[in-house]
Amino acid sequence: SDGGGGGEAQSSFLAAAEAALAALPPAAPRPRNADDAFFAEADAHREALARQAEAPVTQQQQPQEQQKEAGGSEAGGGVHECPEPGCGARFEDSAALQAHYRARHYFRCRVCSRTLPTPRLLELHIAEAHDAYFAAMAARGGMVYKCLVDGCDAVFASAAARGQHVRDTH
Q: Domain for residue 63, yes or no?
A: yes
Number of H helices, E strands in the chain: 7, 4
Question: How confident is residue 54, by pLDDT bands cut at 50, 70 and 90?
Answer: low
- Is 150 inside a domain boundary? no
Residue 54 or 102, more confident? 102
In the chain, % of residues over pLDDT 70: 77
- Whether the per-residue pLDDT at 55 is higher than 70: the answer is no
CB distance 155 to 144 below 8 Å: yes
Phi-psi region of 151 (alpha: psi -120 to 50; beta: other; left: phi over 0): left
Mean pLDDT (whole number) for 84-88: 79
Give mean pLDDT, residues 74-83: 70
Domain membership of residue 68 (yes or no) is yes
- Tell me whether residue 78 is in a domain: yes
Q: Is residue 3 part of a domain?
A: no
Angle of helix 132-139 versus helix 40-53 axis, rounded to 10: 120
Contact 86, 62 (CB under 8 A): yes
How would residue 58 be classed by pLDDT, with cut points 50, 70 and 90?
Answer: very low
Domain assignment of residue 152, yes or no:
no
Dihedral sign of CA atoms 129, 132, 136, 141 in order: negative
Q: Which residue has the higher pLDDT, 169 or 86?
A: 169
Predicted confidence (pLDDT) per residue in 99-158, tens digit: 888 777 788 888 998 888 788 999 999 999 999 999 999 999 999 999 999 899 999 999
With respect to residue 97, please indicate whether it lies within any of the assigned structural domains: yes
Inform me whether the pLDDT recorded for 24 exceeds 60: yes
Confirm whether 80 is domain-assigned.
yes
pTM over 0.75: no
Number of domains in the chain: 1
Enclosing domain of residue 108: 53-116
Single-letter code of the amino acid located at 82:
C
Predicted confidence at residue 155, as pLDDT, reads 97
Q: How many CB atoms lie within 10 A of CB 125?
A: 20
pLDDT reported for residue 56: 54
Instruction: Compute the mean pLDDT over every residue in the chain, rounded to the nearest whole number.
Output: 79
